Amino acid sequence: MNRTAPREDRRQLLLEEAARLFDAHGYDRTSVRQLADAVGLQSGSLFHHFDSKESILLAVLEHTIELMIERLAAAAAAPGDSRQRLEALIRAELELLHGATRHGVAVAFFQWRSLSTQSQQQILKLRERYETIWLEALELAHRDGLIVTDPFLTRRLLTGAHGWTIYWYRPDGSLDLDRLAEEVGRLLTRQ
């Protein structure tokens, strides 16, 4: 059929569609046939692009986390004091969770358990870079007396609080994303 799509574009489309389906139904309940249907291929043809179903999940996660690091680093690099930096990170993570990148990010938060142990380790190493950015900002905020709770603990509680928004928060509802970010910031910092 349509063989005009260059190699990298096809792969990109595949990853996007995979992220969408894995987010919507979960990795385990998504079959390679469903994914193939979604991109207009026969199920076997997927394995021309990927070694295995798991390698698709792994690719989605790698691609997504790279993007998360990029966005978070950009937010951290913006000028401002420790409070403004912290607020920027909160907003950035919520935007990752609810913007155009949401499917991949949701998969990164809640589908990593479907990976083999070694693939999990691989992803964990990537994710560490993301978490480092967070910890630096939180330690700064801690030194400035902005937050009182231990930065590690704060981050882990925040990770859960943010990730869970997937299940209840919709940015087109009555509470817009900036307001939500503001509220979260208020909870974390001295009141």
Q: Provide the 10 A C-beta neighbour count for residue 120.
A: 16
Q: Which stretch binds a second copy (CB under 8 A): 14-22, 94-102, 123-131, 155-163?
A: 155-163
**Residue 160 found at the interface with a second copy (CB under 8 A):** yes
**Residue 113 found at the interface with DNA (CB under 7 A):** no
- Applying the rule CB under 7 A, the residues between 20 and 39 that interact with DNA are 30-34
Vertex 38 angle, CA 114 and 42, to 5°: 95
**Residue 142 found at the interface with DNA (CB under 7 A):** no
Q: How far apart are CA 26 and CA 19, in angstroms?
A: 9
Contact residue for DNA among 1, 167, 172, 191 (CB under 7 A): 1
Structure tokens at 79: 């000028």
Structure tokens at 24: 């919507």
What is the DSSP code (8-state) at residue 169? Answer: -
CB of 161 to a second copy, least distance (A): 4
Q: Rule CB under 7 A: which residues touch DNA?
A: 1-7, 10, 30-34, 40-45, 47-49, 52-54
